[in-house]
Amino acid sequence: MSRVNVSWIIAVLAVELATLSAARAHSCHEVKTAFQVRQIGPLKWVPETPATDVDLSVCKHTGPSCCTRRMEESYRAAVQRDTTQNIRSNSIQLRYIINGHATAFQDVFQSLLSFSQEHLIFLFERVYTSLLPSISPHIMCLFTDLSQYLQGTGNVSVETAVQCFFDSLFPLVHTRIINPDMAESVSTGASGDSQLGDCLRMTRPDINPFGPHPRTMAAELVSALQAGRALSIALAVGSEVMNVTETMELSKECVRALLRMNYCSHCQGLTLIRACSGYCLNVMRGCLASLSEIHMPWRQYITVLQDLAHMVAGEHSLELALLRIKDHVEEAIIHAQLNGLRLTATVDKVCGHSSNTSSIVLRRFPSSSVTAPPPPANSSQEVPGADKIGMLAHLQSSLPQKSSKSDRSLTLKKVAREFIREAFRHKPFFNNLPEMLCNGEFGVEEMSCWSGDDVVQSYTARVVSSGVRAQRQNPEVRVRGFDPVLMEVKAKLEQFNQEIQEVMPRVGQGPSWDETGSTMETSGDCDDEDGCESSGNTASTPRLAFVMSGKRSSQRPLEGFREIVCHPQVLQCFISFHHRHFSALL
């Protein structure tokens, strides 16, 4: 064999060995592994070695590629799925804050309502026993309406609920307390009694047997429960916003940009390279441009939520108003008793029913005394036999033994304070979501990163800001306009903010919570059970904290305390409250 032939054979072998080595170096093995680990699609779609005649629509580049058209479509579906999931993962805490605290507020509201209802039933059990069987359904109806009002469901009117309760109470008070001889005929269903009852119910507002107490009770409840109802409605609006934003659809231009950012590097065999930080921000801000438009009304909405939560718990008006229901009803019945003769004469004229006025039970209060003597010894009527302080002392002997959720150490103020703090942290959520996504799953700041076309040391294009209008300068994503679904969400938030401020002008109009640094923790409203010592001017108007706890944290005197901590079953606590604090509030 000649020397020329040997040299030629050696040259050919060298070329073949170089070719085999290059093929081995540019295999698609790593791409196949990543394709499998990320569950993109069937492995059979991944070629063993890069190809040059590939028909790709997004991940185009000069040189061989490990991608096929089927792989690109699978990458497109995967990135759309993963991005949607990442948005939901970042918003899950905000969703929990809204939905979880909506439930917590309703639990506390229901605990307060249940306690107030038991308090009122207890009054009839111990003092007006003959009225209890007939009045119990109306008590339940009253508190059901108050519950629905606080939940923000239906068109329930507090004024109507209160007036209906007193409408139903009047026939019972008139026939069983003021005119006890009528009770037997009423209970046996004598002719004309249903007409009398209907007449008394219909004419009660005109006859006004209970004096100012029904109106006063309704006004107190409306004022106190309004913020609670508004808070319930606001939380429902927030939950609806989260439902829409978590299910938002990504545009075609966005999906193409996400595909280029996340998977086009795989086509070049680069499975570990991450997107440049600025590049990722441009892509995510373009994809979430319409979502960022919710930022400003959302900030205002969070301020409204914070104000409402503070109003509900800060001055304890809701607890006070519910606890006062029993007192208003008691005072209303006493007012009717004191005016029994006049009421009976008026009823005879209006309803045409003749009563035996000699049987009317009267409670005559000496003009120089605020207390009333007990009823005559020969009277069998169940009327209060002592003044209000005596009544409250009498109530101490027997307590309702009903366990409830209020056994937990859960207070309205605690729930509100935690909610205000958590809501503040998520005020800029919709504006910061692109950064949150890039700092988490997609982008990374390194010496080398992926720019969408190649590996670079840094991203040199302009990084745009958030919002639809800012995307006109976005080099990575073309934003065609506002998403109509998200713009509807934005409009709904703006409308809610405006409507709540029309009804409650103080809400959302003061300095921003983040500007003032104000929270319920720095307002002086701090429970001893939270590890805080009471401070501030104790000469101010005393306030009650309805603290559902089994025991106090100290044995200091009650005078000067802002809160009274007690178990819901320990009525002595509220008796002390009546004695010490109601006089300062009335």
> So what's the pLDDT on residue 444?
54
CB neighbours (10 Å) of residue 569? 18
Q: Give mean pLDDT, residues 123-136.
A: 93
The residues facing 548 across adjacent strands are: 410, 566
Among the ranges given (83-92, 146-155, 497-506, 575-584), the one the predictor scored with the smallest mean pLDDT: 575-584
CA dist., res. 120 & res. 54, Å (int) = 81
Confidence of residue 446 (pLDDT cuts 50, 70, 90): low
CA dist., res. 291 & res. 518, Å (int) = 29
Q: Give mean pLDDT, residues 3-16.
A: 45
With H, G, I as helix, E, B as strand and everything else as coil, classify residue 449.
strand
CA dist., res. 538 & res. 559, Å (int) = 9
> What is the per-residue pLDDT across 328-338, written as a single tens digit (0 to 9) for each?
999 999 999 99
Pull the structure tokens for residue 157.
């009117």
Q: Give mean pLDDT, residues 544-552.
A: 37
Q: Give mean pLDDT, residues 43-47.
A: 87
CB neighbours (10 Å) of residue 86? 17
pLDDT at position 405 over 70: no
pLDDT at position 538 over 80: no
CA dist., res. 331 & res. 215, Å (int) = 12
pLDDT at position 68 over 80: yes
Q: Give mean pLDDT, residues 433-459.
A: 81
Where do the domains of the chain lie?
3-49
CA dist., res. 544 & res. 320, Å (int) = 7
> So what's the pLDDT on residue 555?
39
The segment with the largest mean pLDDT, out of 60-64, 118-122, 456-460, is 118-122
pLDDT at position 8 over 50: no
